[in-house]
Amino acid sequence: MFRSPKSGALTVAFLCFASPALVAGPLGIGETATPEMIAGWDIDIRPDGRGLPPGEGSVADGEGLYEAKCASCHGLFGEGAGRWPILAGGEGTLDTAHPEKTVGSYWPYASTLWDYIHRAMPYPAPQSLTDDEVYAITAYVLYLNDIVEDDFVLNQETFQEVKMPNEPNFYIDDRPDVVNTRCMSQCADASTFEIVTTINGVTPTAHFKEDSGVAANHYGNEAATAEATKVALSDAAVAGKSIYAKACNVCHGAGVAGAPVTGDAAAWSERIAQGMATLNKHAIEGYVGKNGVMPAKGGNMALADEEVANAVAFMVESSQ
C-alpha cells in the first residue's frame, strides 16, 4: 500500500461467487473495495508522519505499558532479555566490529517505531494495542534511547519534533547506475527507440567451470597474459601494455561480455584477419559483434586514439 494513493479504488478479488457486491469487470469477479476495507489494510506510517491516527501518549503512560507488555522480552531498559531484540543503546557502534543496531543507534525514522509496534507488537498479541497505547509505548522507547525527555507527550504534532540521531547517515544511493531521472515533459517518443546494444556475460563465470581452459581468477587470465608477453613485442605494443592493463584487461583478461581473451590465438585469428585498421576502428569507435560488445575505447573515453591503437597492437601481438 505504500505507493497507492490513500483514496485509490482497490479491487479485491474473492473466489467466493456468493459475494454480495459482484461487479461486472472484464472477468465478472471480485468486488469494489469500500473505504472501510481499504482503511483496514492501509495502516502504514510514513517518515513525515502521514498515516498517524489521532491520539497521544506520554512517556509516563508508556512506562507502565512497556513494563507490562514489552519488558519481558525487550528488558526493562530496552537492553533485551536473553536473545530478544535490543531496543536502546549501541550509539557509536555501527562502524565497529560488533555494530549494535537499535532504535537510537540505527533507525532513521520514528515512524517505523510507531508502525511496527502498531502492526506487530506485542509479539503474542499483535494489533491488540489502542492507538493511544502505541503512542505511549513509542514515546517510552524513544525516551529509553534518550531521544526525548521524560515529560514528552507524543501525538501527531510532536511527532514532527522527534529527530532520530542516525537519520543523517542515510542518503539516496548516488552511484551513477541507479540515478534514473524521469522525463516529465517533451520526452522522446518511446516508439522510435531502438535497442542498439545489449551486454551479455558481464559476470565472468567461465573460470568456475572445470576444463574451461580459463584460469580460476576474477582478475583476468593472468597466466595466459604472462605467457603471451614472452612474445617479442613491437614498440607500439610495448607502449600499449600499460594501457591494456588499465582499460582492457578487465574484459579481455577474463573474457567478459564476449571479449576475446588476450593470448587466445584461436579467438583472435579471425579478428586479426580483418586487419589492424578494422580492429583499431572497432576499438576506438566501439563495436557490436555476434559474440558481444566492444564499448568505444573500452569505456575509457579519456584515452587518445593512439593509446587505444597501441593497446590493440599489444593484444594482437600477444595473441598470435
Partner 1 sequence: MSSIRIKAKERAGVVDVKALMKHPMETGLRKDKDGNKIPPHFIQEVVAESNGAVVFSGSFNTSISKDPYLSFQYGGKKGDKLTLSWTDNQGQKDAETVDVG
Report the interface residues with partner 1, using CB under 8 A. Answer: 67, 75-77, 79, 89, 144, 146, 149
Of 136 and 313, CB closest to partner 1: 136
Nearer to partner 1, 67 or 305 (CB): 67
Q: Smallest gap, in angstroms, from Cβ of residue 159 to partner 1?
A: 21
Least Å from the CB of residue 144 to partner 1: 8
Exposure of 167 in the CB half-sphere (CA atoms within 13 A): 11
d(CA 219, CA 201): 15
Closer to partner 1 by CB, 97 or 183: give it. 97
85 Cβ partners below 8 Å, 6+ apart?
73, 74
Cα–Cα distance, 45 to 51 (Å, whole number): 5
Single-letter amino acid, residue 211: D
Shortest Cβ 169–partner 1 spacing (Å): 18
Q: How far is the CB of 71 from partner 1 (least distance, A)?
A: 9
Grid coordinates representing 16 are: 467466493
Question: Smallest distance from the beta carbon of 59 to partner 1, in angstroms?
Answer: 12
Smallest CA-to-CA distance from 136 within 79, 72, 76, 67 is with 67
Kindly provide the residue ranges of all beta strands, DSSP E only, lying in the chain, ordered along the sequence: 11-12, 31-32, 56-58, 153-155, 287-288, 293-294
Residue number, 76 or 276, with CB nearest to partner 1:
76
Q: How far apart (Å, rounded) are the C-alpha atoms in residues 110 and 306?
A: 58
Residues in the chain: 320
The three grid cell numbers given for residue 242, joined into one nine-digit string = 600499460
Q: Which is nearer to partner 1, 66 or 107 (CB)?
A: 66
Rg for the chain, CA atoms, rounded = 31
Closest CA to 214 of 246, 253, 240, 245: 253
CB of 141 to partner 1, least distance (A): 13
Nearer to partner 1 among residue 104 and residue 204 (C-beta):
104
d(CA 311, CA 313): 5
Q: Least CB distance from residue 78 to partner 1, whole Å? A: 9
Give the whole-angstrom CA distance, residue 186 versus residue 281.
Answer: 35
100: Cα separation from own chain's centroid: 22
Residue closer to partner 1 by CB (options 79, 306) is 79
Q: How far is the CB of 77 from partner 1 (least distance, A)?
A: 4
Identify which of residues 44 and 79 has a Cβ nearer to partner 1 in the complex: 79
